[in-house]
Each structure stands twice: as structure tokens, then as C-alpha cells.
Structure 1
Amino acid sequence: MPSRPLRCLLTVPPLTGHLHPALALAGGWEAAGHEAAWVGNEPVFRPLLGPGGRLFPTGSRLFREQAGGGEAAVRSLWEGFVVPYSRFTLKAVERAVAEWRPDVVLVDQHSPAGALAAHRAGVLWATFAPSAMEIGRPLRGERELERWLDGVLRGLWASARLPEQEYLDPRFSPGLVLSTASPALLGGELPPPYATVGPLLGGRTPAEFPWERLDGSRRRVLVTMGTLSAEVADGFHQRVARALEELAPDVQPVLARAGGGPAPAGGIALDRVPVLELLARGAVDAVLCHGGMNTVCEALVHGVPLVLAPIRHDQPYVAERVAAAGAGVRVDFAGATSGQLRDALRTVLDRPSHRAAALMMGRQLLHGGGVEAAVGHLERFTDGRNRSLR
């Protein structure tokens, strides 16, 4: 145990897939007797943290919509969100570091302002990786893209007025990189300072759900495509609806999508769905999703097979690994017909081998230790390094 309570400042972008695991980690950190503070947008963060949560506000601004997929999506992610968000939040992070004096800054890989501010102040920083985008580097073979991204990162470093000779890639702390994946999802074992702790579950605000409408006589499919805009997902949802109508006699759909809308074949469609609770209650037999790390890991740790329709970033990479392990079936987001979607869902529902493979991948994920392990890694890194400096 550390010799005293430790302070951790979290810099996480206002994106659901990043916030949920960070909230779970912060909850575990505080339960261990430590203190946590956040830098973020008040309207987004305050409802999640509650009135007592310590928040250093950044103000609010809109960021550009990302491109569809492949290399264009990576460029769009950094040019349209990561870089402007980092520049916009840097002063707030620097103020939080100066005023609160944390022992460590936990820096999401897509919020590098935390690394820049911590380095400037001589404060320890650890990396938080809730996706496989930077660790897995699914487009690592694209040398021009890699050179471009290196230039972007060095430009961020320079814009923060940090010495060029001290440059560190702000996506990767030299002391600790916490990943919410498993070696199987990242392509193999990773050496220190990487720590693969598996999914960080918890920290969710309750969502109302009509549990009485679940049909116990039918198998249930959860459909969730993450926080995509309707313009991106609408056509896909229409094809999914037709596929589900054909499965209606023995399959009930539960759809999480903006605007809700009518659900096919007596299903349930809501803006927000309590995914973890549905999985924990055994109320889901298969998941159809975009291949986002959170949804995939949450399904796998509950032994639920998947149909994956990846769109961009690390989603194709994750989907490929799940499909290769036999825990799911990959389909084409843009081109899969309603018939192909129907057949993919029928396959994962009917073949026991997919559920068995999902259970195996889930056990591998749980082996990482989750929140308790993540807190332990962060404690040892922070307390050990601070002791060496005293």
C-alpha cells in the first residue's frame, strides 16, 4: 500500500467509450483511499461525476465530424478532434496541475494535453488506452500516414512550447500504459510498461429500461453502434431492421440508437440501453455492434458472441481478432445486405462454438484483473516513482 493517499488527475475526452472505463477506474481509485479529479466539459462531465466530483472545467466547443473509415478516418480523428481538443483544453489542464498538484496525471491516448501539461510541470503521467487504436496501430503499414502522424504529434509538443530535445510521444508514457484490452485483442503479449488489465466495468449512471417487455420465449439480440451520428448509421439500421424482421418468430431485438424510433417485430428501441446490466442478467444471446472496444469486451466477459460491422479506427482490427478466435462473425458495414446480416445473426445464435469461443476470450480478458489491477498498477507506478524522487 502507498504510504499516503495519492492524487490522480484524469484527462479524458468527452466520448462515451473513453469516459465509462475511466469512471470505473476513478471509482476504484477513490475506493482505495485516494483522490481523483478531472479536466473536462462541465455539461458532459458533471452529470457523470455528481455534484461532489472535483472538476476543472474546460469550457465547451464543437468539433468536426469524422470521416468514414480507413486512413481518412485517422487523419480526420486527429485533425478534426484530437489536436483541436488538446489545444483547447491545454490551459485548463495546466491550471489543474498547478492548483491541485496531483501525484500522477492519467492521460487518455486521445487527450494528449495531459501529457504535455504533466511534462512541463515535472509531474508523473501514465497513459490510459481504452481502445486498440494507438497500441494496435491497425494502419501501421501505411508509412506515409505514420510519418504524418509523427509530424502532428511533434507539432503538438512544439505548440505547447516544450523543448524539442525532450520530445516524448504523448500517446505512450515511458512509465505505464494501462490498456483495457487483453493480449489476444492486441496481437500478443506486450512488455512493460504496458499493462493489459481487461475491461473496467462499473461507473455507469442508471438507465431506465422496460424489463417487463423482454420476451422470455425468444432469444434476444442487442444492437448498438456506439455514439455514431444518424447520418452514418441510418442506412445500416434499416438493413438490420429488415434482417431482424425475418428472425422475428424466435428473436427479439433490443436496439440502442439515437431517437429511438419504432423497433421491428415487437422489439425495444431506446436512446440509452443499460448494456452492462442486460449482459449481467443474461438477457442477451448475441450482440450486433460496430466493434468498439468497450462493447466487444463487455459482451465477451459475459460469454456473448458477436456480429461485428466495423466502420473506422480500431474497429476493423478488433473485429478481425474476435472473428479469428471464433467468438463472432464479421460483416461489411457499408455493403452487408439484410440477408447477410440475418444469416450472421443466425450463425452466432445457433452455433455453440461461437459462445464457447466468446467465453474463452472473456476469461482471458478477466485474467487482466480489471479495476483492481488497474488501481494496483497505478499505485505502484505513482508511489514508487514519487518515493525515488524524495
Structure 2
Amino acid sequence: MKFLLVVPPLAGHVAPLRGVASVLSARGHQVAWCGPQPELSTLVSGRVFSAGDSAPFAVALRPPGLRGFAALKYLWESYLVPLADAMVPGVLSAVSSFRPDVVVVDQQAMAGALVAARCGLPWATSASTSTELADPLGSLPKIASWVSDLQAGLRARHGVLLGDLRFSPHLVLAFTTRALAGECRLAVPVAYVGPVLSPASGGWAPADDRPLVVVTLGTSNDAAGTRFLAESVDALAGLPSVRGLVVDPTGSLVSESVTVARWIPQVAVFARASVVVCHGGHNTVCEALAAGVPLAVAPIRDDQSMLAQQVVAASAGVRLRFDRAKAADIRDAIESAGQYRFGAEKIRESFKAAGGAEEAATHLESLAHP
């Protein structure tokens, strides 16, 4: 069987499908990728079909400091809709050349849904983050109607009669579990397969036996992120009973008592951690919880607030105000987060039981031969 994976040029969205692609290939299937170039070829291996230029859709182009509706408006009007329009010709060409049995479509690569529907192909949604499954706009009817109108414009331009482009009527692969995300209230078939995480790369060991507290904001490196990390260094300096490790991509922070690094082998480090302080990125949250490590989450934008809410609801950690947190607040959150290890361990067990890439591949095989 042939599987075409349609993705945006975003590492976090590609990451879970890399593991699924590997399993499908190992089972003897043909797998190809389709997305904006040249960025996609830096993220995946194997056959890649180009779907436009990735340069206009670089994450770095997003104006810093966007929050709330301003961030959502930018995401849809300046990223998701233009990306879909730009990708459609390339996805059509890939389908014509590769002739897939199934198309797998990341939620932020709606061109895949448009083309699959036009060509009458079965398609699955790849939900790399769980927040859309909770219908976050359900209590905001005006904003939900605005998003619906944007999608209606996309469907009309490309001659497609279909429902919500973010949710396949055939299959949604949710790379999370009910224990963390809760039940999906949408009328679509959802397979909770758990996160597909990269294996730990390289060895890592702390310098001493004190409990390890890790602070990371992913790739966020604007002024607000630097402020939060600096406050975190001060917070950890006031906790001599723990060993602090702060990830500062800019390399601008210096401390005598807290370890500051520009990059860490995250999976390996989290395996040794007692608490992780983070921004609520889906991969970071899942990597920490996969190690049974409780969290202090300071969401910045996009889906991070919903993920923080899920962590708190699952009793797997606490929440911080990213823009307002001072050293004392971060210190209090670190000290209280340790109380939620039991909840974090329950999430870890749900991840283990979900099946991951193997389970996702099995569902995709079933979609090809219902």
C-alpha cells in the first residue's frame, strides 16, 4: 500500500509522523512526504514531493508578542489559509504521481484534505496536538463562525464539498491519550494512539544527586522569553536543595549556581528530572509526562494554554502566568509541582498502553482496506 503524508514545514507537526512512517515502511508499505520545500527535506528522510516554497511560511516571520485573538487571527489569515492555497497544486501533483491509497493530513496542512476530497481518496487527520479535539472555540460562537467562514472560502476556491478540514470523517489520529486530553466531543472517529516520541539521543547525567529541575521554553527566544528564563535562574538560585538547569537558546544568561545551556538532549535529560518548567508545547509536555515528571506550565500562545489546562485537570502539574511570573512565583510552582508526580505517572502509564506509532500504523492500514 502507498501512504502520502501531507505536512506543514513545522518540526513539531512532522515529528510524530516520522515514527509512523518508519513503522509503515518496516511493514513493507511505500511512504512519501509532501510539503513546502526546502524545509521539509531537512525534517524527514525518504521520498519528498514539493508543495510550494517554505520561505513565506517560516515561523520566524510571525510578529513577536501576539497573544489571544490576535495570535489566532494571524494563524488563520496569514498562515493556515495562505499555506493551504499555496500547497494545493503540489499536493495534486504528488497524488497524480504517487497514486497513494491513503493520504495522511496534518491539521495545519489543509491542502491535503482538499485534494484527498477532490480525488475521492480516504484520508486521515494527524492531530499532533490535542487541543483542537476539545473544540476550544465551542464557547466562542462568533470566532468559531469566523473560522468556519475562512474554511468555506477555501472549499469554494478549490471546488470541494466537505466539512471541517481539520477533522477527517474517516479517521483522526490523536497523538495523546484520554487520560491527558479528555474525551473528544466531535462527531468523528478518533484513535488515541499516544505520543510518538523521538528516542533519547546520547547519554546524559546530572553533576550531583540533587533533584533536577529543568526549565525550557522550546525555541522561544524573544524578550519575554529571556525575561522568564532570567526569573527562573533567580528562582533556582534560591533553591539550593535542587540542581537547576535552564535552557537558554540565546546564550545570554550566566549563573554561578544554576547550569545554563543553549540546548539539551531533552528526552535523556527529562528521564533524570524531578520537575520540568515549560511553555506548554505539546512535544515538551508529552516528553516530560512520558518520563512521569510533573510540570509547571507557563503557556505563551496558540494551543499552549489549553495544554496547560489539560495538565492541571489531570493533576499532573501546576500553571504559571508567563508574562507576570517572578522568581518567587516560579519557585513556588517548582516546590508545589512535585506533589503531582502521581498524576504525571498515571499519564505515563496511559502513554505506554496507547500503542504509539505501531497502533497509528495499524489504524492507517485499516483505512486503506476497510
Corresponding residue number in structure 2 for 1:320: 309
Specify whether residues 49 and 32 from structure 1 end up closer, same or farther in structure 2 by C-alpha distance, changes over 3 A only: same
Aligned pair 1:237/2:205, yes or no? no
**Which residues of structure 1 form unaligned runs of 5+?**
1-5, 385-390
Please report how far the alpha carbon of residue 26 of structure 1 lies from its aligned counterpart in structure 2 after TM superposition: 1.3
Matched position secondary structure for 2:245: strand
Aligned pairs, number: 364
State how far apart, in whole Å, the 1-side matches of 2:16 and 2:308 are.
Answer: 20
State how far apart, in whole Å, the 2-side matches of 1:109 and 1:115 are.
Answer: 9
Aligned pair 1:287/2:276, yes or no? yes
| Aligned 8 A contact 1:299 1:306 in 2 | yes
| Aligned 8 A contact 2:117 2:162 in 1 | no
Please report how far the alpha carbon of residue 380 of structure 1 lies from its aligned counterpart in structure 2 after TM superposition: 0.7
Specify whether residues 346 and 203 from structure 1 end up closer, same or farther in structure 2 by C-alpha distance, changes over 3 A only: closer
Specify whether residues 99 and 241 from structure 1 end up closer, same or farther in structure 2 by C-alpha distance, changes over 3 A only: same
Aligned pair 1:175/2:170, yes or no? yes
Matches within 5 A, 1:47-196: 47-50=42-45, 53-57=46-50, 58-63=52-57, 64-65=61-62, 68-160=66-158, 162-163=159-160, 166-188=161-183, 193-196=189-192
Specify whether residues 230 and 98 from structure 1 end up closer, same or farther in structure 2 by C-alpha distance, changes over 3 A only: same
Corresponding residue number in structure 1 for 2:354: 368
**Deviates most, 324-333 or 131-140:** 131-140
Aligned partner letter, 1:60: S
Corresponding residue number in structure 2 for 1:251: 242
Specify whether residues 320 and 153 from structure 1 end up closer, same or farther in structure 2 by C-alpha distance, changes over 3 A only: same
State how far apart, in whole Å, the 2-side matches of 1:251 and 1:75 are.
Answer: 41
Aligned partner letter, 1:55: V
Please report how far the alpha carbon of residue 81 of structure 1 lies from its aligned counterpart in structure 2 after TM superposition: 1.3
| Aligned 8 A contact 2:36 2:87 in 1 | no
Please report how far the alpha carbon of residue 30 of structure 1 lies from its aligned counterpart in structure 2 after TM superposition: 1.3
| Aligned 8 A contact 1:308 1:330 in 2 | yes
2:27 is matched with which residue: 29, 32, 46?
A: 32
Please report how far the alpha carbon of residue 106 of structure 1 lies from its aligned counterpart in structure 2 after TM superposition: 0.5
Corresponding residue number in structure 2 for 1:332: 321
Please report how far the alpha carbon of residue 284 of structure 1 lies from its aligned counterpart in structure 2 after TM superposition: 1.5
Deviations 1:348-377 (A, max 9, x none): 24x3xx111110122123222111111111
Please report how far the alpha carbon of residue 289 of structure 1 lies from its aligned counterpart in structure 2 after TM superposition: 0.9
Aligned partner letter, 1:215: A
Specify whether residues 62 and 223 from structure 1 end up closer, same or farther in structure 2 by C-alpha distance, changes over 3 A only: farther
Q: What percentage of aligned pairs have identical amino acids? A: 37
| Aligned 8 A contact 2:38 2:53 in 1 | no
State how far apart, in whole Å, the 1-side matches of 2:37 and 2:199 are.
Answer: 18
Aligned partner letter, 2:213: V
Specify whether residues 365 and 216 from structure 1 end up closer, same or farther in structure 2 by C-alpha distance, changes over 3 A only: same
What TM-score, normalized by structure 1, do the two folds share? 0.87
State how far apart, in whole Å, the 2-side matches of 1:382 and 1:118 are.
Answer: 13
**Which residues of structure 2 form unaligned runs of 5+?**
none
Please report how far the alpha carbon of residue 156 of structure 1 lies from its aligned counterpart in structure 2 after TM superposition: 1.2
Matched position secondary structure for 2:139: coil
